Structure 1
């Protein structure tokens, strides 16, 4: 469920008309719903209320400070994959003891920042990284709490670009190397082994891969403990899918996912850590655009809008489907059209949707792209010198601009002319 609904023929975000926001701040823009963010977080947490669980929101999905603060106020920690994300989490007041640092390419400065902040844990992804963290912790005179991301070689049956749990993926340490690396880490200075981590992919709509992965993980925890390693937390990652397209298979609800999880972890006596991202924010956001032109050529209709692949790259990057509809509620039995919804970018890959049957729209009409709260604004760019678009957050009958629309002067002002070209 989300809180974007038609009321009196107009799309509303909670209690405010989306068209009102468009009239006041212009288009395109992202719009997020506080009520939806809160509901999704609460439903997920409720599914695990009977075990010792910690939810670390995967910030890569949407790292806007207002979104982070909304979730932090509900009790969320953070899963970060860069120094920038760590700084964002700290600045909204997330307790460092609720911050996980994941990612395959942590730099020295990022490691130093995390050690100084005394975060909950590093999820280590290679032996080289382990050696570096050990050295930096020793230099700082501190211990770094670590877990190892173990790659179970399980096919998550998701898009190839968001699969992370097969042996051909770049992430984690091979399952058959796990016991050796824990043994090696136990002898290193500055290292405190505290857990184990596994994350097999994103937008997973089938529980069987989770079942396979968690079974392998639970078995490994037992062997590691028998070898004398302290495993006080087990990080199961994220990856639970969300509904994007009407008619597609419905992703499992959190309570069904929880049944699979608990079957494998109840007897472990460990804190269970989760890193949900997409499932918390995807359907809590939309992108709103205005129709610039309706172009008909060679039996094809193109609806050209003022948003483009630089604003929402998922359709181009992942062949992702997002529902696209007019902001004004279609009239039952009204005219429809089949069209490609495209942007102004000088690329044939610049599209938001292809061959869509939708209510007929005209130049100047507003349309919205659903399920855009995850991997939308965070993946945007300034390609073709197009400024970053605004982000807004709604709560009840009010809204706030939580990222201003970038101006052309601000964008071009990032460039600097070398001395030999001045004048």
Structure 2
């Protein structure tokens, strides 16, 4: 077979591929669908817990890793539960090698691409037989100093030990070796973490964490006219999403800004109490969640902008979706949104220097957007233009070029762990 004509057979690996298991699982699902549009033979390996949903979604070419006595023991132990990630990686790579045996013997080029998790720290098992791709990796993101008193003990320990452990990994011969290609989506913070672990800078290639669906960019861009006091915050209601910060900002706006909170999660009751405490019952609505994502997207027509004061998002798919539709985002100058939003151009970023600075900063930006349709329209146009650069087909074409280069110029050394 001529590799210049016949593309490689790509085998994706992700522990979860789902619409129901959070952002990483959703991203893995999008990657599978988008790669299959270009490479229909693409295979996916995931955990058996995804089987029912994969069947519901009608996805073909998906293979499953089932639990073993060892994995169940790791889960029940709690202390050793973090070892489940490497265990799954080992099982999935072994399965990929088995599935690849026949096409490889027929001369087909093979690429094993471990999509998730996006952590730069978690060790992964790599194939000895075929080229390995990791990523998009997007990590080394922790709470700003202002919020560290809210960290769990384990999160605080991970933050403190992150770089020391990475330096330790580079000193351990079996763990210092890297994959042939690592897709880096977290900018400099992720790159520095990977380099600290001993990865070769030549294997690191920058990419976006997540693409934008063509269906979003095919929709008419939202246009902004007159005064509009309505904003939306959507996603899982957990502490690090900053829902309570968005609500507290309303108490400091000059205009009677309104906020729709779309989502569910453990912070819901806390947020309801904040609304009552500040007397904002007439200005904040809790809308639970839309059963269909399309209905959520359709609802954006009513709003002037979206608010996501997240303190730990490594990327921010919801920010990308809002920008693709022309809905200006107001976020913190931290983590993933910091890499997505051009402050003052395609949205606003507020420095997390103090609680007062955050709430006053958000309030000021909401007031400005609400009463200035020309500003909102300029940001809407800029946001859509940025999002067009993230369209999935272009991301997939970048990866396809890297796959082909990888199989055409394979490095002789192939490690077995990273």
TM-score range, shorter chain: 0.3 to 0.5
Under a length normalisation based on structure 2, what TM-score does the superposition of the two structures give? 0.33
- Compare the two structures and name the one with the higher strand fraction: 1
State the structure with bigger RCO (CA 8 A, min sep 6), 1 or 2: 1
Under a length normalisation based on structure 1, what TM-score does the superposition of the two structures give? 0.33
- Compare the two structures and name the one with the higher helix fraction: 2
